Structure 1
Amino acid sequence: MGTRLQGKVAVITGSSSGIGRASAEVFAEEGAHVIVNDDGGREGLGQQVADGINAQGGSAVYVQADVFKSEELKRLIDFAYEKFGKLDILMNNAYRGHTDSVLDQEEADWDRVFASSVKAVFLGSKYALPGMIKAGGGSIINTASVHGLLGGRRHSSYDAAKAAIINLSRQMAVDYGKYGIRVNSICPGRIVTEGKIDFLEKYPEEVRRQQAVYLLGRPGTMREAGLAALFLASEDSSFVTGHALVVDGGLTAQLADSVSEPLEEGLGLAGSK
């Protein structure tokens, strides 16, 4: 167990799986009291994550709350103050919804993507900020994506929402830096979450494609994304705010013509034209 977050209280939305889960585990390893959250849709999973953290010597409790519902999101934030008397770290991580091209995107799905991400970041921060201001500081971390920096095929709502999160993070950094509150976003590339493991096993060509386009030759792990969030949560980033931390194995560091050759080689297309 480390001490980088010793005694800190952290709420992480959507933390029963994926990047949120890994962040909860890493935060707890570094001494934080972690409030694990999901909407309860996968019965028992959030409690399992909290139980696993406690079994490893960490401190975690599970609170079911749906970020689509303002009153439940407020209850989640209020729980931190009621149980621990403070909230040092808020990680707005939850996301749900289907994304597609503009012509094929359904309006209801567009609204769902924005409600679960952009609006939830706005509301979660709105409810957390008064207590952080009173305490004289805090860290808000918002999960964005490399899709918030560059466009991807058939990702209209997702790309737009993640870009909004990045700039909302910057805007909040401007308003609340004077209170000692740092607001940053993380922009992961492809992270192999639980849901992607079966997909990659089913489509080996996708593995080869990722090996070709990522400069490090592979996609990232959930823990690597969690460690990036830990940096922004801890005093290691005490002079970092309004920043979009890219965690993508070099995916966005290269020009399209630079990636075309390894991509063709990785897919066995070199010399096929």
Structure 2
Amino acid sequence: MKNFDVAAVVSGGASGLGAATVRALAARGAAVTVLDLQEEKGKELAAELGGHTTFVRTDVTDADSVQAAVEEATGKDRPLRIAVNCAGIGWAQRTVGRGNVPHDLDPFVRTVMVNLVGTFNVLRLAAAAMAATEPGEDGERGVVVNTASIAAYDGQIGQVAYAASKGGIVGMTLPAARDLSSVGIRVCTIAPGLVDTPLLGSLPEEARQSLAAGIPFPKRLGRPEDFAQLAVDLVEHGYLNGEVVRMDGALRMAPR
């Protein structure tokens, strides 16, 4: 996709990877709708970028909530062509902990609901809206970029819920791309490594440096801007489809 004079939706767009992606898309002229539960941050970002950037408070696990956000995006004066899924949460707990206590079920279900089901919810509703548009070059109507994690492949001790949710996104990528090929919509996924998001920002500097030292090259944490650049690259490259791209500086995580 070479023309960014289109509408886009970014879930989890108020902070971290999502906010960087919103900025990158808006800088290229896209009319971006920010989907997030963080109302204050979302409104601030939309006000800062101005123009055609808007915020819709959205729960990605709720069908009506996402449908309303997609309708906001499709109501703009250009076709919806881009959806980037960045909404996600983390959870750390062993399958069986000390004293033979089993993993809590509710946070496992919640993690899968937000990360995997939420991603699919946005994908299916955004794709349905894209499918109703007129095709562009090569018959393309749009592209969806999802966010997995290298934990999908290298899940560490205590990451069973998170890794399962992200592994589901990896597994969904190819069949979704095949499903949507008939309507000209591409689906790709980014699997980031250690990225300097608000989650990692809460760690002490010593811990952050220790994490960065374990990355083969470059020896630094990833930046949200790195993710945004790759997301834009995937949107632009019309022959990339059904693929998961690791963005991790060649990191392969150890068990702990």
TM superposition score category, shorter chain reference: 0.7 to 0.9
Deviation at 1:36, TM superposition (A): 1.2
Q: Which SS does the other structure have where 1:62 is aligned?
A: strand
User: Is the CA contact 2:116–2:169 (under 8 Å) kept in the aligned structure 1?
Assistant: yes
Structure 1 unpaired stretches of 5+? 257-273
The structure where helix makes up a greater share of residues is 1
Q: Which residue number corresponds to residue 190 of structure 1?
A: 194
Show CA shifts across 1:109-134 (max 9, x none).
Answer: 01111111111122212212222222
* Structure 1 position 176 matched with structure 2 position 187: no
Q: Which residue number corresponds to residue 45 of structure 2?
A: 49
CA distance in 2, matches of 1:245, 1:200: 29
CA distance in 2, matches of 1:151, 1:98: 12
* TM-score, normalization by structure 2: 0.88
Deviation at 1:205, TM superposition (A): 4.0
Show CA shifts across 1:112-164 (max 9, x none).
Answer: 11111111122212212222222231000111111112221210011011011
Alignment of 1:227-266 (within 5 A): 227-234=229-236, 237-252=237-252
CA distance in 2, matches of 1:71, 1:248: 35
Change (3 A) 1:115 1:205: closer
* Structure 1 position 18 matched with structure 2 position 22: no
Q: Which residue number corresponds to residue 209 of structure 2?
A: 207
User: Is the CA contact 2:147–2:189 (under 8 Å) kept in the aligned structure 1?
Assistant: yes
Larger radius of gyration: 1
Overall identity of the aligned pairs, in %: 25
Q: Which residue number corresponds to residue 81 of structure 2?
A: 88
Q: Which residue number corresponds to residue 259 of structure 1?
A: none
CA distance in 2, matches of 1:134, 1:18: 31
C-alpha RMSD of the superposition: 2.0
- The one of the two structures with greater contact order (alpha-carbon pairs below 8 A, sep at least 6) is 2
Q: What residue identity is the alignment partner of 2:162?
A: Y
Q: What residue identity is the alignment partner of 2:24?
A: V
CA distance in 2, matches of 1:141, 1:103: 34
- Equivalenced residue count is 243
Deviation at 1:167, TM superposition (A): 1.3
User: Is the CA contact 2:211–2:221 (under 8 Å) kept in the aligned structure 1?
Assistant: no
Show CA shifts across 1:89-128 (max 9, x none).
Answer: 1112111252322225311101111111111122212212
CA distance in 1, matches of 2:30, 2:177: 23
Q: Which SS does the other structure have where 1:50 is aligned?
A: helix
Q: What residue identity is the alignment partner of 2:80?
A: L
Deviation at 1:34, TM superposition (A): 0.7
Q: Which residue number corresponds to residue 32 of structure 2?
A: 34
Deviation at 1:59, TM superposition (A): 3.2
Q: Which residue number corresponds to residue 63 of structure 1?
A: 56
CA distance in 2, matches of 1:146, 1:66: 25
Deviation at 1:52, TM superposition (A): 1.8
* TM-score, normalization by structure 1: 0.83
CA distance in 1, matches of 2:128, 2:49: 29
Q: What residue identity is the alignment partner of 1:231?
A: D
Pick from 113, 116, 120: which aligns with 1:115? 113
